[in-house]
Structure 1
């Protein structure tokens, strides 16, 4: 069904500016071609709408709930998540003023959580601990109920396990399915299982196609051709040995089937299908909107960041000077949120102890991905603040200063350097040795039983002491990132740079520590908060590429346009109501898109002492060149990579975002949609701005070269991602880098000695228990 919205203008320039660096040209939108991305994180669903240059024109967010009725049993509802997605898509389309018939593609990403539905009815099945609540049909990724099941699976030493880092994590989905086998009343005979991302494409299209990303990364699927024993993709021997014959039945139907036989498996952005009439109605889109194969949320962060234009080494080009997806090899995507995932691509498989993978065909056929990770990063910083005696005092002081808690702590550290007359903030915390695996270790130890240990605590309960512990937590995140990178490089990776995303990018202290601890350049993306949902929109653009090319080459008279016109006419004649587009609920204080509010002041206007805190943050303007010469450890200079078209810094300033008076660019206004493109072209021409890229008409006589694996995905990524800001590490002889290197050796001792200590006492306790028996 075609949704026919009321006539609206496009977003204001102020809002459009918020989606890109102020010192970067903002290209005008390509008319009549747009894409939607959907991201489902642990705590919220988000949607964005982008044009063909990758400019975000609409962004919406809605919280989703999770329940923990029993320790380590954490569940969610696929019904609630789908409703939240529909709300967000309707809202961002409405707010952008774009006609839904001009949205060509949609992509989804989601957490790697297990969705359980009935094989006979396709309806949700409750996953416990309250099995009568069928709305709670998702076992969240962070659910740790399947400890014994994980150990049983790993004890098999099955060949497939070497492709998930040597052992399955408790966060993966096969242990959760085994737990359900033995605890779900009636067993799993009527169950079929999806990774959440694949469930969303199923909900959108009705297709049972699965993504390589979910099946390979989280379910133990090994793509055909990797080894002779895995032509079906699934290890029959493993499933039978761990008492899961139900998953083998009917050619692995409950897991999605075997490839090229009863199942279909797709790489990122491959076409799943078009929206069903029901899904189109609920989303406020059309049945001609093409759905791209989904990815896990962290992998959408990889898609949304690693093609950023930045002054970094080892750019791979072909004979014509063009880059390809191999360019991304060596670029580590660090997707930071509650936890952080570290994702890197290689041409050949690299087996890294404690790092998940290598995963084949996830992004592009023939390429491999590895995924390291830290179980707590954003959650770690929040936890350190929450448990300290000065937590309430910090909240009061930060609020009185109109700063976020993290901004205030950074200022305290700056002041302490002066008050205590120490060399730098790093030396200020030289005797704080913080090892922060409060929630176990994902990489590279791969031990969920690891715990935190902190050396250097005193009875000081002041805010000053809290600031030192906060610094220790930041240093821990950076040192553990170094540990992960070193393990990857020992096994064949060549990591050249770190492409960050997430609100942690605003913490100049943390970003500087990452650069100095690892010795790698850190690239901050154009979309700090929206990199993941932006990556999912790219999936929609990749899937819709052929439809867009046809639309451009036929000047809008494509078969797609004819179908939509026919549907629009039928809707008009029948008087049938349009889709949910016009009926999207207005924002309330509780469901307003906080991501949009965040983006309006800070998505790209990066001040390196600014950090978000629990969804709110204080805006500190970006540095001027004069200020860069006087920076401290928090605000060290960054390299801003020039865009293809340079523009005087004075053309658009930070102040314009707060006050839209006094500058011609701030006076851009938009009337009817028919005038939008003309007005934009004239105004941007006066400002000296040009598009980063455009869609070119494809002649029917032009031969189309055979695309290499991943070319389509990479070209769209490269075109849309835009520029990044680069934080380069200090010189290796810099005193702070030498101190951090010395503390890294202590960090490693804290990590490995913990294992030794536990082994010693476990041996004693084993003897004690034996004697008692």
Structure 2
């Protein structure tokens, strides 16, 4: 330790270097700023806090309730959700130890559920018990409005063209129509309607600013110029379906017009992460955040998964991404990257420069992520739920539970290990060949994409009376193969229509299943990129929306009171102490001044527990390509240390970067995503002449035939039933 009075020149070179590094670290910490992300799912609210290098510092979750008094009537409470959000935000701030005054942005995502309040901003009960005003949210999965949905779709209005040809019962206009048909008129006349994500930004800022994501994707708004739209909302459509009340007072009940018919600028509708406003004073107190913290325009939860994944960088070069980065700029670099946000179900979101219509795929939606760009949204109605169903309904499920618990690994990892053992026992070529005579079609819950037929159901050819754990393993393999083959079907339909998809960016717990990731790569023939944050990708994406709003505010509101309050929370670093790569753009800006830090929310690779499997069953058959390009199949030997994961440092985001392109919120969004998402792991498809690829290609033809044959069978029976009725 340096003694009092000892000059710096008397220290050794090594001591001087260490002192300079320590002082530089302190200077960097003084300039760090932070952002909060909030994600409201079906069963819980989550919050995370990140620093301006993209590291999640803390994450909290709190369950939220849903009420189902009658079948298909599922409701929630906006008060409970807001209280859960406040609890989570305060928790992550407290646990992270971050100075509150240095939190500069917050973003929200939520399920596409309908929130109802009145003109005095009080909650309005949505039934079936209308007197219970606490239950003022119609949950996305509520299916009460089936008749209203059929009536709306019968109009064949032009706005339906942009929601896959027809509205879903899960969208919000059918729910509003049900409320009009069933709610007391005097109560309905006082109602205002929000998508949940938009309600949260309203609650946070007291500004009735809507997102294109919510209104275009789930409420039928057409941005200016789309199909000749001049106001956003269609007066003709809303009147034809009996919701003329929504037209009154310049569409006040649903957020106002994008532009009034007289040409005046209407209320603002914003793309992802655009600056909405600073926190309202009351909301700031409830959240425990400073009033100079700004709010970014929110998105539907799956779209937050897109934000949190598609800019992941990889240490092995993917030619498709390299070419894209060389020929495109800004948000345009995200085109061609498909985000697969996987959980109970899976959403597939792709960005394009032009509108591309795909049968069975929702959209195209303009402006939802970036002005002038279009999104398409496909999906599988059950993926995680399918795997859970296959396991839990098999007679060997109890045995699986005991065996996986005894091995201290997940059920999925145990089954993957079991499959590898079966290859040896049965003398098969590979795990894939174990299911060569099992033909599994898994649309148990209908088909969303690309057939868009809710009456589709599962079909399995090749079952026996075997009830053993080995049979369960092979049946699970068949379910994984189905998910991968259907993903190929969706990708092929999208590409045939005009999308140019070169890679798939996954998120969600399914990323840890090495078998599934390998099948996805081999079936689609595309590289699968696993982002740094797997389970937290969605809430991380929301935090990035807060960072986008903060960056945009910094760039365009340099003389505001909020800016002055922000500056008072930061200390200018001593430039002489900073590393040369970190001297620019650090004051209140984003930057990769250091490598990705280890985090409890980071999975090291797509099969986080395959090392445990390898230790008992030999090499794992589905290698994950690591950051240096080699396959990861075994853990380090005793006495060896695993090489730490590192990613290439990237440029600091500064005013020079932002000024290099014309101002476009989409480019600001991309810059934030690119600088902060961090590194991703790659699962490369095998070569086209690999035996497993050849087998999977042959089975893909059978998969397509099973889907077509089921529909033909149903049509044949429908003709018989029609004749009998006549």
Same fold (TM over 0.5): yes
C-alpha separation in 2, matches of 1:92 and 1:319: 35
Moved more, 80-89 or 28-37: 28-37
Aligned to 2:121: 122
Aligned to 1:669: none
Q: Is the 8 A contact 2:55 2:599 kept in 1?
A: no
Q: Deviations over 1:630-683 (max 9, x none)?
A: 85433x1414269xxxxxx9xxx999xxx9xx99x99xxxxxxxxxxxxxxxxx
Aligned to 1:616: none
Q: Does 1:638 align with 2:643?
A: no
Aligned to 2:307: 303
Q: Is the 8 A contact 1:499 1:522 kept in 2?
A: yes
Aligned to 2:526: 520
Query: Compared with structure 1, are the counterparts of its residues 523 and 317 closer, same or farther at alpha carbon in structure 2 (3 Å cutoff)?
Result: closer
Aligned to 1:753: 709
The Cα shift of 1:564 comes to 7.7
Alignment of 1:258-273 (within 5 A): 258-261=257-260, 262-273=266-277
Q: Is the 8 A contact 1:375 1:442 kept in 2?
A: yes
Q: Is the 8 A contact 2:36 2:89 kept in 1?
A: yes
C-alpha separation in 1, matches of 2:268 and 2:556: 26
Q: Is the 8 A contact 2:45 2:62 kept in 1?
A: yes
Q: Is the 8 A contact 2:275 2:553 kept in 1?
A: no
Q: Does 1:741 align with 2:697?
A: yes
The Cα shift of 1:227 comes to 2.2
Q: Is the 8 A contact 1:49 1:93 kept in 2?
A: yes
Aligned to 1:570: none
C-alpha separation in 2, matches of 1:688 and 1:481: 31
C-alpha separation in 1, matches of 2:312 and 2:29: 19
The Cα shift of 1:322 comes to 7.7
Aligned to 2:385: 379
The Cα shift of 1:741 comes to 1.1
Aligned to 1:495: 501
Q: Is the 8 A contact 1:605 1:654 kept in 2?
A: no
C-alpha separation in 2, matches of 1:366 and 1:730: 37
Aligned to 1:722: 678
Q: Deviations over 1:714-747 (max 9, x none)?
A: 1111111111111110111111111111111111
Aligned to 1:474: 480
Aligned to 1:670: none
The Cα shift of 1:77 comes to 1.7
C-alpha separation in 2, matches of 1:431 and 1:490: 30
Q: Is the 8 A contact 2:552 2:668 kept in 1?
A: no
TM-score, normalized by length of structure 2? 0.84
- Which residue of 274, 287, 291 maps to 1:287? 291
The Cα shift of 1:764 comes to 2.1
Aligned to 1:460: 466
Alignment of 1:265-414 (within 5 A): 265-310=269-314, 311-315=317-321, 323-414=329-420
Query: Compared with structure 1, are the counterparts of its residues 707 and 763 closer, same or farther at alpha carbon in structure 2 (3 Å cutoff)?
Result: same
Alignment of 1:132-281 (within 5 A): 132-186=131-185, 188-228=188-228, 230-261=229-260, 262-281=266-285
Query: Compared with structure 1, are the counterparts of its residues 698 and 426 closer, same or farther at alpha carbon in structure 2 (3 Å cutoff)?
Result: closer
Alignment of 1:408-487 (within 5 A): 408-487=414-493
C-alpha separation in 2, matches of 1:30 and 1:460: 64
Q: Is the 8 A contact 2:145 2:175 kept in 1?
A: yes
**In structure 1, the residue corresponding to 2:141 is in which secondary structure?**
coil
Q: Deviations over 1:13-60 (max 9, x none)?
A: xxxxxxxxxxxxxx9867331111111122221111111111111111
Aligned residues: 659
Query: Compared with structure 1, are the counterparts of its residues 438 and 73 closer, same or farther at alpha carbon in structure 2 (3 Å cutoff)?
Result: farther
Aligned to 2:515: 509
Aligned to 2:564: 559
Query: Compared with structure 1, are the counterparts of its residues 35 and 57 closer, same or farther at alpha carbon in structure 2 (3 Å cutoff)?
Result: same
The Cα shift of 1:697 comes to 7.6
C-alpha separation in 2, matches of 1:472 and 1:688: 36
Q: Is the 8 A contact 2:104 2:566 kept in 1?
A: no
The Cα shift of 1:356 comes to 0.5
Query: Compared with structure 1, are the counterparts of its residues 731 and 460 closer, same or farther at alpha carbon in structure 2 (3 Å cutoff)?
Result: same
Q: Deviations over 1:235-278 (max 9, x none)?
A: 22222222211222222211111114443200111111111111
C-alpha separation in 2, matches of 1:737 and 1:473: 17
Q: Is the 8 A contact 1:53 1:694 kept in 2?
A: no
The Cα shift of 1:146 comes to 2.0
Could you list the runs of 5+ residues in structure 1 that have no partner in the other structure? 1-26, 566-598, 611-618, 643-648, 667-686
Q: Is the 8 A contact 1:417 1:423 kept in 2?
A: yes
The Cα shift of 1:690 comes to 8.7
Alignment of 1:605-616 (within 5 A): 605-606=604-605, 608=607, 610=608
Q: Deviations over 1:171-191 (max 9, x none)?
A: 211122222221224363222
Query: Compared with structure 1, are the counterparts of its residues 318 and 760 closer, same or farther at alpha carbon in structure 2 (3 Å cutoff)?
Result: closer
The Cα shift of 1:705 comes to 5.8
Q: Is the 8 A contact 2:324 2:333 kept in 1?
A: no
C-alpha separation in 1, matches of 2:311 and 2:685: 21
Query: Compared with structure 1, are the counterparts of its residues 399 and 639 closer, same or farther at alpha carbon in structure 2 (3 Å cutoff)?
Result: closer
Q: Is the 8 A contact 1:302 1:343 kept in 2?
A: yes
Could you list the runs of 5+ residues in structure 2 that have no partner in the other structure? 1-26, 261-265, 571-597
**In structure 2, the residue corresponding to 1:227 is in which secondary structure?**
helix
C-alpha separation in 2, matches of 1:690 and 1:93: 29
**In structure 1, the residue corresponding to 2:68 is in which secondary structure?**
strand
C-alpha separation in 2, matches of 1:221 and 1:416: 54
Q: Is the 8 A contact 1:317 1:327 kept in 2?
A: no
